[in-house]
Structure 1
Amino acid sequence: LSGVAIFAFTLLVEHLQASVRKSTLTARRLGQYVLLQEIGEGANGMVYRARHALLRRPVAIKLLSPDLTNETSAARFEHEVQMTSQLTHPNTVAIYDYGRTPEGLFYYAMEYLSGINLDQLVRQFGPQSPSRVIHVLRQVCGSLAEAHRIGLIHRDIKPANIVLTRRGGLCDVVKVLDFGLVTARHARGPDKQAKAIVGTPHFISPEAVRNPDEVDARSDLYSLGAVGFWLLTGQTLFDSERVEDLLTQQVKFMPALPSQRLGRPLTPDLEEIIMRCLAKNSEERPPSAQDLDQFLACCADCGSWAAPEAEKWWDANMAGIEAMPPPAMAEKTLIIER
């Protein structure tokens, strides 16, 4: 009886703590930040558009869901912000602050990105030109190269985690988001999540499914190849919506050529690079993000999409969209513990 009573008391305490944390959100104030609008929700928390009360600077606040706050989730949340804060590349989202309210609500502040992610881009505007695809992929390579250089693997590169925004008067500036599943190649001690199947089924690498211990920098390049395929064709590598089928296809089958899925020719050099990224054997992919960037730089269409073309496109298409909050992510990230 005493054990049951203790368990019930523990549940009551956790419920009361969650209620207090929720009341903090209702007050629309989080430390020195004023919460303005919820703009996204993931598996373990929410993202708000906010502003710094004194600086008046717009920020995005990611916070751990009050209902999911426990020792394990808090440690994972802290891991995310610690990993991301090590990265300073201009194409990686910048972290400004990290904190915990007196009520126990964990949050971090990052730069607010108006614009459009690559999932939205293709759904609203269709397949993109090879020159623009090259322009976007090269910027992602820059972000990944820095992460890989210090031993961090993203593990969830996908269209919804890559945003196009304006920065410093330039359009089509890429920002890579959501390093929450990042793993360190040289981490000490057991890493339970590193042994799990982690990623988004339409963009996950074969080795992440087959043997998660084999995941390395080239796994991110496979996912980036799948992003390039999405941008060029408006379609994912495989059509199935069943998770089990998708994981099997990622491991065992090669997708059709992008030109075949699109129904019209594409420049052979870019198509060859995309298919090389999608090799089932990681040894056959580009060795590194820097190498992939150089391969893309040698494509015939590289440089055809530059600042004037980007600005013209944004002026014609983005005036209304930038003011709207982004919709919910189309496909959720998968974590299967082993």
Structure 2
Amino acid sequence: MSIEDFRNTKTHRSGGPPPRPQSEAGEFDSVVLGIPYQIEAKIGRGGMGTVYRARQEVPNRLVALKLISGGRLDQEFQLRFKSEYEVLALMNHPNVAAVYDVGLTNSGESYFTMEYVPDSCNILEYCQGGNLSISERMNLFLQVCRGVMHAHQHAVIHRDLKPANILVHGGDPLVKIIDFGIAKQLESNELMHYQTRQGDLVGTPAYMSPEQLAGGKVLVDTRSDIYALGLILYQLATDLPPFDRKSMANMTYDACLRHFREVGPEPARERNATVSADLDAVIGKALAKDVEKRYATVEAFAADVQNILENRPVSARPRGFFYLAGKFLRRNRFRFVFSAACGAMLLAAFGLQWLHRQHQFARESAESLNDLMEAVQWTPNPNFISQGKELAALRQLEKDLNWPGREDRLKAKTHNTLGEVYFQLDQADFAIVHFKKALESDVGALDEHKTPVRIDYHLNLSRAYRAKGEVERAIAQARAAKKLIDNPAVTVQEAVVNVHLAAALSQSEEGAFEAENLLIRAIDVLRAVEGETHDDFLLGVGCLADLYQRQRKYSRAEVYYRIVLEKRPLVEGLSSPPLLSAQNNLAFCLRRQGRFDEAEALLRQSLAIRKDAFPERHPSVVRGMDSLGRLLLVTGEFEEAAALYRQIVAHLRAKGDCSGGLKMVNHLARALWAMQDYEGALAVLKDMLARCEGAANPDQRSLRTANILGQYQLECGMPRQALVTAFPFIAADDVQAPKKRLHVSRYIEARAFYEIGASDIALDLFYRLAAELTGDPMAEDELALRVHAYISLAQFAEGDRSGLPILQAYLAKIDAAENPKLVREIVQLLDNPPEPKF
């Protein structure tokens, strides 16, 4: 008797369902089973049942029919099986096996049919049988990633990725992912009754992530699939299972699970010396036990695999300059030979001393620098930035650019290159210096379109001025570039210039209409000529989205931001600054439309990508934390917001960034105040103001922070302290700040005098401030509303009750949440008018 016969007999004797009826040929009879398929052969067996090749009559096609084992047919399992079908039915991707049908046999057993993959074998067998190279295996693996990406975009994780569930067929190999039988729908909390019970261990332990193996309440998300993909890539790269089966042969089942959970596989390079350091690092990152240290998304993982194939830098390794340069040389080894002089220049340019000072050497060095920077698509090493090494090296290079002659094509190009490097280092002032020198040194060189190269220098200068907020200068430089286009056939370059001009115009109210028209025309040209994945097209789309956002046309802006999010990763990857910026801006638009959950999910994804791509204290990570923190303040999640801003403020304090620290401490204080930690809010504001006292530019942010502190002090019943806080900024003649912020300081001063009983002084200050404020106080100006309300209160304190009738009108307009003390005082006065104070 076979084991299967024994199991069927045992089940029947124990009262379970009888053995399935079989045909004379030994296969299950589809007529007896009551299913509209003709079963032809058994092709496999999985964890949930047996798989058969079957033929469907209408339409006429071969399918893979999966029939659940009779001994496991409890209600929960049937529901889970139905869930498998519903999840797979969402999929429509060439690398995911399609699902056709689901149903029950006459005996009540579940089955479903899926796409039949002929002449296929699992991915590991395919690679080993064909003796594929590591590069060929990585190309197959990228197909796997694309299928998993599709699943994740439908909020589905596979949770049982392994070589056996990845089939390959065809001479031009096509990957098909099968068996989403234990997939979990991330967004189906209401359907948890047919999801895996809490604590159940579902999947193949050797390919499960540590958090899956832990069970219980540990979060299992898309990064669990990334861990499994890392194990698959490990096996493809080494031809060995990730875990040594011999060393585990004598372990108990629980010990094996603990080993999988706590002990990672040996580095791939130690088991196969042909594995490159880049591939080893990429696999290691995917297999990080700490889920936060893995790739944030499958897209990021796949991007690094593609980078290895193209000899480009990977995010899993430190992106030092020499690592980037080495990648460049390997990509271009047949067309680019580094001279000894150029090598000396590169060493000197990034931290070492120059070996020569000859004029010719400087020219050769500059030429090599331009070629290298352009080909590497260089991005600064964040670790070097924090130490200032790259900036110091660039200063040294600048000194050696002073070869004889002012107008020089190579000198102009090199100044432009240095300007671009400084711009990437967020050093707009230095970038402007070099872009100007590029224009001064230009000798009228033409590009391949016979248009002046100086057009690019003007556009770069415009971009740098935009970054500094100098809008008029940015517009002027973009218009200067446009005047240089005298070849009407060069429509693409004109479109690019129009994008830059529009980007500058859109930052001014009067230029918005012209900017929109320029961008719409430019986008049409760039889409037709360059396509939707070209950087120029995406630059124009992003600018138009930004314009609509400034105009508060949030639904329009959303459409264009989503184009950037869809197409930009195909150009630069997930961690490109334009993509990260578009994510934040789209989240802002969603927030303004009241779609807070969508905005929060997007910002959390963006922050995960930033943390994945950059060091912990990189400016991009800080920006991501700030964006998420601002949303959390709006949605009332104050504790998490406070935790984020504590980290940011601590980092900026250590960095000595006074301006950034003032900006962020305001948000931290707001969160603490909302949590009713009034002392904490006052303390962090005072501390940051004290740290920034005597800074070169106390500027607007110091004034804003002082205003917040002063208003909190007033609300805490500390008018004298508020007066001390506000007075230095009111008295200073050199504070360059918007009038509105100075008005707030003067309001704090007047209100402080009012609350300490000096109503005559307060009334005089309020009158003067009211004269400076314009507009109807009963309309939109909240500050004017408060000033006039306090004028009425102060008049009453002086014995003049003429202002009382309008206090009732003010009360209906004043924001009680922002001005609780004023509202209480007006209500008390109206309910029980007291005698005059004097």
Range class of TM-score, shorter chain:
0.7 to 0.9
Select the residue among 215, 227, 231 that pairs with 1:226.
231
Partner of 1:22: 21
Residue 300 of structure 1: how far off its partner (Å): 3.3
CA pair 280-39 structure 1, distance change in 2 beyond 3 A: same
Change beyond 3 A, Cα 1:194–1:171: farther
Deviation at 1:121, TM superposition (A): 3.4
Secondary structure, counterpart of 2:47 in structure 1: coil
**Letter of the 2:28 counterpart:** T
Superposed, which structure 2 residues align to 1:57-206 within 5 Å?
Answer: 57-114=61-118, 115-121=120-126, 124=129, 128-166=132-170, 171-189=172-190, 190=192, 191-206=195-210
Asked whether the equivalents of residues 130 and 301 of structure 1 are also in contact (C-alpha less than 8 Å), the reply is no
CA distance in 1 between counterparts of 2:130 and 2:309 reads 24
**Do the aligned residues in 2 keep the contact of 1:18 with 1:67 (CA within 8 Å)?**
no
**Percent sequence identity over aligned pairs:** 30
Give the Cα–Cα distance (whole angstroms) in 2 for the partners of residues 125 and 235 of structure 1. Answer: 16
Of 33, 40, 47, the match for 1:43: 47
Tell which has more relative contact order, 1 or 2 (C-alpha 8 A, sep 6+): 1
Q: Which amino acid aligns with 2:297?
A: S
Q: TM-score, normalised by structure 2?
A: 0.32
CA RMSD of aligned residues (A): 2.5
Deviations 1:179-200 (A, max 9, x none): 0111122332544435322221
Q: 1:44 and 1:265, CA in 2 relative to 1: closer, same or farther beyond 3 A?
A: closer
For 1:194 and 1:87, the matched residues in 2 are separated by 26
Match of 2:309 in 1: 300
Alpha carbons 1:99, 1:108 under 8 Å: kept: yes
* Aligned: 1:260 with 2:270: yes
Q: Tell me by how many angstroms 1:91 deviates.
A: 0.6
Q: What SS does structure 1 have at the residue aligned with 2:67?
A: strand
Which deviates the most, 233-242 or 173-182? 233-242
Which one has the bigger strand percentage? 1
User: Which of 252, 255, 258 is residue 248 of structure 1 equivalent to?
Assistant: 258
Stretch moving more, 201-210 or 272-281: 201-210
Cα distance in 2 for partners of 1:194, 1:131 equals 40
> How far apart are 1:87 and its partner, in Å?
1.1
Give 1:119 shift: 4.2
Residue 283 (1) aligns with residue 292 (2): yes
- What CA distance in whole angstroms lies between the structure 2 residues aligned with 1:38 and 1:295? 39
Partner SS for 2:206 = coil
In 1, the alpha carbon distance for the partners of 2:67 and 2:104 equals 9
Change in 2 beyond 3 A, CA 1:48/1:288: same
Task: Indicate conservation of the 8 Å contact 1:28/1:36, yes or no.
Answer: no
Given residue 289 of structure 1, which amino acid in structure 2 is its aligned partner?
A: V
Aligned partner of 2:219 in structure 1 is: 214
User: Is this contact kept in 2: 1:163–1:177, CA < 8 A?
Assistant: yes
The CA deviation at 1:122 is 5.7
Separation in structure 1 between the aligned mates of residue 233 and residue 116 of structure 2, nearest angstrom: 25
Change (3 A) 1:270 1:288: same
CA drift at 1:113: 0.9
Post-superposition CA distance 1:211-269 (Å, at most 9, x none):
4532110110101100011111111221124443432223222322212112x232222
Greater CA deviation, 22-31 or 99-108? Answer: 22-31
State the SS of the aligned residue for 2:173.
strand
Going from structure 1 to structure 2, the CA distance change for 1:75 and 1:122 (only over 3 Å counts) comes to same
Distance 1:26 1:146, change over 3 A: closer
SS in 1 for 2:205: coil
The amino acid that maps onto 1:26 is F
In the superposition, relative to structure 1, how do residues 181 and 269 fare at CA in structure 2: closer, same or farther (>3 Å)? same
Deviation, structure 1 residue 288 = 0.4
Other structure's SS at 2:289 match: coil
Aligned residues: 285
Tell me the SS of whatever aligns to 1:237.
Answer: coil
**DSSP-derived class of the 1:171 partner:** coil
Specify whether residues 288 and 14 from structure 1 end up closer, same or farther in structure 2 by C-alpha distance, changes over 3 A only. same
Do the aligned partners of residues 155 and 103 (structure 1) sit closer, same or farther apart at CA in structure 2, a change above 3 Å counting?
same
**Residues 97, 251 of structure 1: CA spacing in aligned structure 2 closer, same or farther, 3 A cutoff?**
same
Which letter does structure 1 place at the counterpart of 2:264? M
2:135 aligned counterpart, secondary structure: helix
Distance in 2 of aligned mates of 1:65 and 1:41: 10
TM-score (normalizing by structure 1): 0.76
Q: What SS class does the counterpart of residue 108 from structure 2 fall into? A: coil
Q: Write out per-residue CA displacement over residues 47-67 of structure 1, whole angstroms, 9 at most, x where no aligned residue.
A: 001111344311110111233
TM-superposed CA distance for 1:124, in Å, is 4.9
Q: Is the 8 A contact 2:196 2:202 kept in 1?
A: no
Please give the secondary structure, in 1, of the residue aligned with 2:150. Answer: helix
Q: Which moved more, 1:198-207 or 1:26-35?
A: 26-35
How far did residue 176 of structure 1 move? 0.8
Shift of 1:95: 0.6
1:334 corresponds to which residue? Answer: none
Q: Which one is further off, 29-38 or 80-89? A: 29-38
Q: Which moved more, 1:226-235 or 1:249-258?
A: 249-258
Rg bigger for which structure? 2
For 1:65 and 1:248, locate their aligned partners in 2 and report how far apart those are by CA, in whole Å: 30
The counterpart of 2:243, out of the listed 238, 246, 262, is 238
CA 1:162–1:57: 2 relative to 1, 3 Å: same
My pick for the range that moved more, 80-89 or 144-153, is 144-153
Q: CA deviation at 1:23?
A: 4.9
Counterpart code for 1:250: F
Q: CA, structure 1 residues 69+103, in 2 after alignment: closer, same or farther (shift >3 Å)?
A: same
Amino acid at match of 2:90: Q
Asked if structure 1 preserves the Cα contact closer than 8 Å seen for 2:205 and 2:213, the reply is no
What is the match of residue 6 of structure 1?
A: none
Query: What are structure 2's unaligned runs of at least 5 residues?
Result: 1-11, 312-838
Q: 5+ residue gaps in structure 1?
A: 1-10, 303-338
155-164 or 238-247: which moved more? 238-247
Runs of 4+ in structure 1 deviating by more than 6 angstroms, as ranges, are 11-14
